[in-house]
Amino acid sequence: MVQRHDSQPPLPQQLSVRKASEFHNSHIMEDNNTRCSVILLLSLLLLLPLASAEIKNLKITADSRGMILFEKFGFTHTGHVTVAVTDVSYSSSLAQPDPSRFGFFLLSEEALIRVLMEAEENPNFCVLDSHYIKLLFTFKDLSLTQRSFNHSYPVTVPNEYSLYFANCAPESQVTMSVRTEIFNTDNGIKDYLPAGQTQLPMLYFLFSLAYFVFLGLWIYISYTNRHSVHRIHLLMAGLLLTKALNLISAAEDKHYVKITGTPHGWDVLFYIFQFLRVVLLFTVIVLIGTGWSFLKPFLQEKEKKVLMIVIPLQVLANLASVVIGETGPFIKDWVTWNQVFLLVDVVCCFAIIFPIVWSIRSLRETSKTDGKAARNLAKLTLFRQFYIVVIGYLYFTRIVVFALRTIAAYKYQWVSNAAEETASLAFYLVIFYMFQPIEKNEYFVLDEEEEEAAEAALRDEEFEL
């Protein structure tokens, strides 16, 4: 192969200048990338939910991130943070890094904005140098022989703090084992739940009792009207049972985390019942929306496709929920899993609306030809009410609850959980009342004396969504 040389080769002096320039530019890009990642992570902190600070043992391997978030916790005036690191090693492709450029610190919500401003103004910003953080320790404090450190720090100023690890050494990687233990004390007793979540065990327990009572009432109504019971009513009973079991598992999970720092296996039951509950909820909404078991004993092809889309997506959403809940923001893909969960949830919420819309359109077309105006008017009214209730429930639990969680003070984060569970219970009560197994369910209402009025209503009202 013949190589063409259109110009003279560069001189050694030119090569050295060029390499120095490239080296300088690469460092500028590296610093800018690190600075942008720090700003991005600090900004995302504003949107993160409060975490329950279980005792966690973590392994960080060859991690080059500039910032790693471990926990976000609401402290009282008797809070404590214990951080233990072992098997610490760090290296850089440039030179031996300064150990004081690696460290753990606490950052409050109020100081977060000021740190962001510092990062914007200073191109060589290192968060460990900020006056607005509470620095715990740096690698300079490590034991020289064992490369380890273990210390507990009191938190006497009540606030919501986040525990971070910062790496300000350019082009460096860190490997270490980390054990974190964050708690408040109440009369000398450790409470591993944040100040805004310490009420959750009792809250979930009370709601689980409400659902067990609800289930008993549903079984009684179904038994007394057993001739009107359809298969959908059995699924609805299963939904109530899984919801109650999900809440009692959540109550026990939070209770054991609160007193011991570990869930003692209740988290496994919680995720199992959460998966069953969510799948049953979306399935019941889709089946009611199609009129299955009430209006027809079968599903059309497009309705089957909705179920075939929703159920696998819920499997993925549940997997994302487990990863988010059981790991934490310290893993590299934590933000990605949050995005996956949000995307899947939005897709499922849209998907379950389509069968209701299809049923309303089908009933409107049928009402023009079958001559049963009163029955069709009742069905259309019921489906439109069902549509409005489902939309209201999805809007409240996805948007209003998120807004409450965002704007509420850290001590009152339980209010958003209470609002979500109250809205869910109200939704279940309304839907179960609308479709209860009674002989004169609105699906089957037929009053010949009201036929003319119903025909006029169908002509005048288009039942547009």
CA distance 426 to 434: 12
Note whether 289 and 359 are within 8 A (CB).
yes
Q: 3-class SS at 181? A: strand
pLDDT of residue 315: 80
**pTM for this structure?**
0.80
What residues are paired with 160 via a beta bridge?
74
| CATH domain 200-460 topology | Rhopdopsin 7-helix transmembrane proteins (1.20.1070)
Provide, rounded to the nearest whole percent, the portion of the chain with pLDDT above 90: 35
* Structure token pair of residue 147: 């490369």
Q: 3-class SS at 435? A: coil
Residue pLDDT, tens place only, 220-275: 999 998 888 888 899 999 999 999 999 999 999 999 999 999 988 898 999 999 99
pLDDT of residue 2: 36
pLDDT of residue 422: 96
Nearest to 82 by CA among 219, 183, 169, 11: 183
Q: Specify whether domain 49-191 bears CATH 2.60.120.
A: yes
Full DSSP string of 92-113: ESSSPPPGGGEEEEEEEHHHHH
For the chain, the structural domain boundaries read 49-191, 200-460
Residue pLDDT, tens place only, 13-46: 443 434 434 434 444 444 455 455 555 555 555 5
CA distance 217 to 215: 5
Does residue 52 have a pLDDT over 60? Answer: no
Note whether 137 and 87 are within 8 A (CB).
no
CA distance 258 to 440: 49
Note whether 69 and 339 are within 8 A (CB).
no
Residue pLDDT, tens place only, 300-355: 677 777 877 887 887 888 778 777 777 777 777 777 877 888 888 888 888 888 88
